[in-house]
DNA sequence: GTTGAGCGTT
């Protein structure tokens, strides 16, 4: 994105890309353009932003029309204090699409093989692996602190299936005949049955769930759900188990 | 309001 009015990357033919690092998060392309344009012909200035927040990532790409000017800009702007931060200007080593570029100039196109030249960094990029499961900036600091919310919780994995899978695996190991496939199979059958019933906690009396929390026959708000989770949360497994299995230590009757 | 290693978009 650049203030040139174009959406994607303009004509990057014979252009030299400069990587500007250590820039302030407030620094924008408009701020860098005049600064870099002073030393040469800047064809485009792009500052990668976060797709979630949209804020700058702290670095920018400046493309010059000539290498000599780019080199001069690097020598001049490198280490220069911008917006209160000393920026680092250097030639980009990789193109927008992971092309191999030398001195900011693209010398090698993307190979047919997906093996990007930047295999130096095994970590995946956010755009390739952009998923809310492992998204994170290249910041090991508090940077992601604000992005990370307490709401994000890892999804539970299916451990039960693995257990059964292993049992089956061992059977196939060759010990099945040894135990007498049939007898063992029968035993496993019950085991599976029991196991299946175990995880599935059937509520003895579903109505009880609604009992403690009396549901108004007619809701004041028609067709409007004030809450969706709270009611479920009210029912605690302990209370349910205590009521259905054994009376509470303190019986209201004796009181 | 915060942060700080690095390599890019419609």
- Using CA atoms, how far apart are residues A144 and A152, in angstroms rounded to an integer? 13
Using alpha carbons, select from A46, A51, A53, A42 the residue that is nearest to residue A19. A46
**Shortest CA to C1' contact from A90: nucleotide:** B7
pLDDT digits (tens, 9 = 90+) for A21-80: 999 999 999 999 999 999 999 999 999 998 888 889 999 999 999 999 999 999 999 999
A17 CA → B7 C1’, Å: 10
Query: Which CATH number belongs to the domain containing residue A62 in this structure?
Result: 3.30.70.330
Residue A39 belongs to a domain:
yes
Residue A176 belongs to a domain:
no
Residue A51 belongs to a domain:
yes
pLDDT digits (tens, 9 = 90+) for A131-167: 443 344 444 444 443 444 333 333 333 333 333 333 3
A47 CA → B4 C1’, Å: 16
Q: Cβ distance A83 to A27 under 8 Å?
A: yes
* CB atoms near residue A33 (< 10 Å): 18
Is the CB of A105 less than 7 A from some atom of nucleic acid strand B?
no
Is the CB of A19 less than 7 A from some atom of nucleic acid strand B?
yes
Give residue A45's domain range.
16-91
Is the CB of A55 less than 7 A from some atom of nucleic acid strand B?
yes
Protein residue nearest nucleotide B6, by CA to C1': A138
Tally of structural domains, chain A: 1
% of residues, chain A, pLDDT over 90: 26
A157 CA → B6 C1’, Å: 33
Using alpha carbons, select from A100, A76, A104, A75 the residue that is nearest to residue A91. A104
Confidence grade of residue A20 (pLDDT, cut at 50, 70, 90): very high
**Shortest CA to C1' contact from A142: nucleotide:** B3
Q: Which nucleotides of B are covered by protein (CB under 7 A)?
A: 2-10
Residue A78 belongs to a domain:
yes
- Using CA atoms, how far apart are residues A79 and A10, in angstroms rounded to an integer? 28
Residue A216 belongs to a domain:
no
**Shortest CA to C1' contact from A88: nucleotide:** B6
A139 CA → B5 C1’, Å: 6
pLDDT digits (tens, 9 = 90+) for A220-240: 444 333 333 333 333 334 444
Residue A80 belongs to a domain:
yes
A75 CA → B10 C1’, Å: 32
- Using CA atoms, how far apart are residues A17 and A5, in angstroms rounded to an integer? 19
pLDDT digits (tens, 9 = 90+) for A111-137: 554 434 443 334 334 444 444 433 444
Is the CB of A92 less than 7 A from some atom of nucleic acid strand B?
yes
Protein residue nearest nucleotide B3, by CA to C1': A143
The position carrying tokens 């290498």 is: A67
pLDDT digits (tens, 9 = 90+) for A190-200: 343 334 333 43
Confidence grade of residue A96 (pLDDT, cut at 50, 70, 90): confident
Residue A100 belongs to a domain:
no
Tokens representing A42 are: 């800047």
A25 CA → B10 C1’, Å: 23
**E strand segments, chain A:** 16-21, 42-46, 60-64, 81-82, 85-86, 88-91, 100-102, 105-108
- Using CA atoms, how far apart are residues A211 and A205, in angstroms rounded to an integer? 10
Residue A169 belongs to a domain:
no
């Amino acid at each position: 994105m650049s203030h040139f009015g174009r959406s994607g990357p303009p004509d990057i033919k014979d252009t030299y890309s400069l990587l500007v690092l250590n820039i302030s998060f407030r620094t924008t392309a408009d701020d860098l353009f005049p600064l870099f344009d002073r030393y040469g012909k800047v064809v485009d200035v792009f500052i990668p932003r976060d797709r979630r927040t949209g804020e700058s990532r702290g670095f920018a790409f400046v493309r010059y029309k000539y290498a000599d000017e780019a080199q001069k800009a690097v020598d001049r702007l490198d280490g220069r204090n911008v917006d209160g931060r000393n920026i680092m200007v250097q030639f980009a080593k990789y193109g927008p699409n992971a092309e191999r570029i030398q001195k900011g100039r693209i010398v090698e196109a993307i190979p047919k093989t997906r093996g990007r030249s930047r295999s130096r960094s095994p970590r995946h990029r956010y755009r390739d692996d952009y998923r809310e499961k492992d998204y994170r900036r290249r910041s090991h600091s508090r940077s992601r602190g604000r992005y990370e919310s307490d709401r994000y919780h890892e999804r539970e994995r299916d451990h039960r299936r693995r257990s059964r899978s292993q049992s089956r695996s061992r059977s196939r190991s060759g010990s099945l005949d040894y135990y007498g496939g049939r007898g063992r199979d029968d035993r496993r059958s019950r085991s599976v049955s029991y196991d299946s019933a175990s995880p599935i906690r059937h509520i003895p009396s579903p109505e009880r769930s609604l009992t403690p929390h009396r549901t108004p026959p007619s809701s004041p708000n028609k067709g409007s759900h004030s809450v969706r989770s709270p009611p479920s949360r009210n029912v605690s497994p302990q209370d349910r188990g205590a009521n259905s299995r054994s009376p509470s230590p303190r019986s209201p009757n004796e009181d």
